[in-house]
Amino acid sequence: MHETPTPVFPPMAAAIVSIDVAVGDTVVAGQRLATVESMKLQSPVMSPTAGTVNEIRVQVGQTVQVDAVLMELLPASGGTDVDTGGAAPDAIGSNLQALQDFQHQQAMTLDAARPQAAEKRHAKGYRTARENLADLVDAGSFVEYGQLAVAAQRGRRDIQDLRENTPADGVITGLASINADLFDRENSAAAVIVNDYSVLAGTQGFYHHLKLDRIIGIARARQLPAIMYTEGGGGRPGDTDVQIGGGGLDVNSFVEWARLSEEVLTIAVNNGYCFAGNAALFGCADIRIATRKSWIGMAGPAMIEGGGLGTYAPTEIGPIDVQQRNAVVDIVAADEAEATALARRVLGYAQGTLQEWRCADQDALRTALPADRRFAYDVRDIIRVVADSDSFLELTPGFGSALVSGFIRIEGRPMGLIANDCRFLGGALDCEAADKAARFFSLCSKLGLPVVSLCDTPGFMVGPESEEQGAARRMGKLFRAGAKLRIPVITIILRKAYGLGAMAMAGGSFKVPVITAAWPSGETGPMGLEGAVKLGFKKELQAAQDDAAREALLNRLLDSLYEKGKATESAAATELDAVIDPAQTRQVILNAIG
């Protein structure tokens, strides 16, 4: 009687690593027949039954899909003894089938099972969600939550369709270690969320939100930092399995993400379109990184058009040059690879001290400033000398340009830094710069990072235009942020320190920092020298015989005020704690924070 052979299938789409039997071999149920590899993980192919290998259809190195027949087995004859290890053959077969079913479902969530979706991403120059995940986390450390979820659309689509086309319901969530080669196990732990645009345009569905809530809750309970990739189109209207009334607003993800951002470091990374709910999550993060091919908006084209506000292409909504100028984006990356590297780097500042570091020759600081106090310079050149080499990471350079903010390290220790950039508004703090400094103070206070303030400012920006921008409120907010500081502040006056703006750079007062020191080039006063002279000596200047005499008098008065406000004079009056050799700046900072 002709016997029907039993086909053997792989547990997932994979490459054949080894074939462990030959044609004619007798095998038992549960015996390893071959080994396959997918996403750098190897899995055994087990015999579903006892029998004889009748045919082998594949060879080592070949890539196969889940429906490929690897080999065929002829059933064992009735008298053949089968070693089942003490378990009933039916039980073994059942367990193996359950395992294979699970492995098959799991494999369907991976890129190898979705080649067309992956190719579509690659054709645009983008990476898949799982490629970003693999690049972000330490190899072998990711523990995924909700991997087998699918969209809540069983009422309109069959389960196979959902598994093939809505894996993980469009969001990968889990725990992992990041930078474990630099920091210990506890400090390298993090929560990870990666929205998958290849699944229903990265939209947020019912199970998608449940997964977000779950991982955010775990991150809050364990006080873990979190990194979220936010690409996606916002809310999803097509989840028909959810049969409840109301407007679909019973969602906790946004407030839970915001609460997490109040407690630990949250980092958002975006590439591509990020609209509506996805944009809200992006905007809530502490540090926001986006690629040059990012478009971020609180509404996508359909919502805008539906509101009667016109028809726009997605690329017209929130392009990167706009979002960089308005501080929606803190750091612009060339692509997803650089954005991922930046996310790891930003996270590192919150993870601890690096044991290896190097720095520039500090003697260079003695000649870092122009000889003429009226000449501008790039304060970043000074920052890069003071900080460990390659440790300075600037945030939001396109917003509030009169103020530089970012992270540095000194002898491996992470710190925040603010500095005036005298090339813009002479270093005066305008409304944008005040907003920028207040936000950064709050972030560093939350992270427990000391802040170094390099001061060279004529004060707050003044004038009718500044007042139209809400100067009193926005600049006052900077003093409020300073009052809430629970971290050491170290203020180093490089050159000018005038008026309320200088006090704000010190956290609200020269007595707030653990030390307020100045380089010998430092100068202080209640307002800029030129303004003080013109206001205080208005009558004398008006009485001058001619323009030449007026200019000469002005210069004499300026020189007199400068001598009175020199750093050494201010230190003699104990307004400053010390005047320091610029080459000793790093050591002064380290000594001050202990």
What residues does 432 pair with on adjacent strands? none
Lowest-confidence segment of 147-161, 386-400, 535-549 by average pLDDT: 535-549
Return the CATH fold of 1-78: OB fold (Dihydrolipoamide Acetyltransferase, E2P) (2.40.50)
Backbone dihedral angles phi then psi of residue 141, each to the nearest 5 degrees = -100, -10
Rounded Cα gap, residues 296 and 319, in angstroms: 7
How confident is the model over 479-494, as pLDDT tens digits?
Answer: 999 999 999 999 999 9
Q: Give the per-residue pLDDT at 81.
A: 44
And the tokens for 52?
Answer: 């004889």
| pLDDT surpasses 90 at 497 | yes
| pLDDT surpasses 80 at 559 | no
| pLDDT surpasses 50 at 84 | no
Q: Give the per-residue pLDDT at 244.
A: 59
Arithmetic mean of pLDDT, 403-432 = 96
The pairing of strands 51-56 and 71-75 is antiparallel
**Residue 328 C-beta-side C-alpha neighbours within 13 Å:** 23
Q: Give the per-residue pLDDT at 19.
A: 96
Q: Give the per-residue pLDDT at 169.
A: 93
Q: Give the per-residue pLDDT at 308.
A: 87
Rounded Cα gap, residues 409 and 385, in angstroms: 11
| pLDDT surpasses 50 at 85 | no
Rounded Cα gap, residues 510 and 505, in angstroms: 9
| pLDDT surpasses 80 at 89 | no
Arithmetic mean of pLDDT, 459-466 = 88
Rounded Cα gap, residues 257 and 227, in angstroms: 11
Backbone Cα Rg of the chain: 32
CA distances, 321 to each of 201, 248, 270, 334, 439 (Å): 23, 34, 14, 13, 21
Whether 125-350 shares its CATH topology with 353-522+566-593 is answered: yes
Q: Give the per-residue pLDDT at 88.
A: 45
Is the distance from CB of 38 to CB of 10 less than 8 angstroms? Answer: no
| pLDDT surpasses 60 at 92 | no
| pLDDT surpasses 80 at 580 | yes
What residues does 295 pair with on adjacent strands? 273, 319
Superfamily for domain range 353-522+566-593: 2-enoyl-CoA Hydratase; Chain A, domain 1 (3.90.226.10)
Q: Give the per-residue pLDDT at 547.
A: 81
Is the distance from CB of 490 to CB of 514 less than 8 angstroms? Answer: yes
And the tokens for 539?
Answer: 């009558």
Lowest-confidence segment of 50-54, 295-299, 459-463 by average pLDDT: 459-463
| pLDDT surpasses 80 at 562 | no
Please state, for a pLDDT cut of 90, what percent of the chain lies above it: 71
Lowest-confidence segment of 159-163, 195-199, 441-445, 530-534 by average pLDDT: 530-534
| pLDDT surpasses 50 at 86 | no
Q: Give the per-residue pLDDT at 378.
A: 97
Lowest-confidence segment of 275-289, 411-425, 545-559 by average pLDDT: 545-559
And the tokens for 466?
Answer: 């500044």
Kindly indicate the confidence band of residue 236, based on its pLDDT and cuts at 50, 70 and 90. Answer: confident
Kindly indicate the confidence band of residue 536, based on its pLDDT and cuts at 50, 70 and 90. Answer: low
Rounded Cα gap, residues 583 and 586, in angstroms: 8
| pLDDT surpasses 80 at 305 | no
The identity of residue 222, as a single letter, is R
Residue among 268, 247, 271, 270 at smallest CA distance from 258: 268
The identity of residue 554, as a single letter, is L
Return the CATH fold of 125-350: 2-enoyl-CoA Hydratase; Chain A, domain 1 (3.90.226)
Lowest-confidence segment of 81-95, 508-522, 534-548 by average pLDDT: 81-95
Q: Provide the CA 142 distance to its chain's centre, in angstroms.
A: 18
| pLDDT surpasses 90 at 219 | yes
How confident is the model over 38-80, as pLDDT tens digits?
Answer: 888 888 999 999 999 999 999 999 999 988 999 999 988 654 4
Q: Give the per-residue pLDDT at 532.
A: 60
Residue among 435, 509, 419, 424 at smallest CA distance from 470: 435
How confident is the model over 95-148, as pLDDT tens digits?
Answer: 777 888 888 888 889 998 899 999 999 999 999 999 999 999 999 999 999 999
And the tokens for 93?
Answer: 């077969």
Arithmetic mean of pLDDT, 540-568 = 75
The identity of residue 478, as a single letter, is L
Q: Which of 251-260, 299-308, 563-572 is predicted most confidently?
A: 251-260
Lowest-confidence segment of 298-307, 402-411, 495-504 by average pLDDT: 298-307
Residue among 150, 145, 143, 153 at smallest CA distance from 168: 150
Kindly indicate the confidence band of residue 210, based on its pLDDT and cuts at 50, 70 and 90. Answer: very high
Mean pLDDT of the chain: 90
Rounded Cα gap, residues 235 and 253, in angstroms: 12
What residues does 491 pair with on adjacent strands? 453, 516
Q: Domains of the chain: which residue ranges?
A: 1-78, 125-350, 353-522+566-593
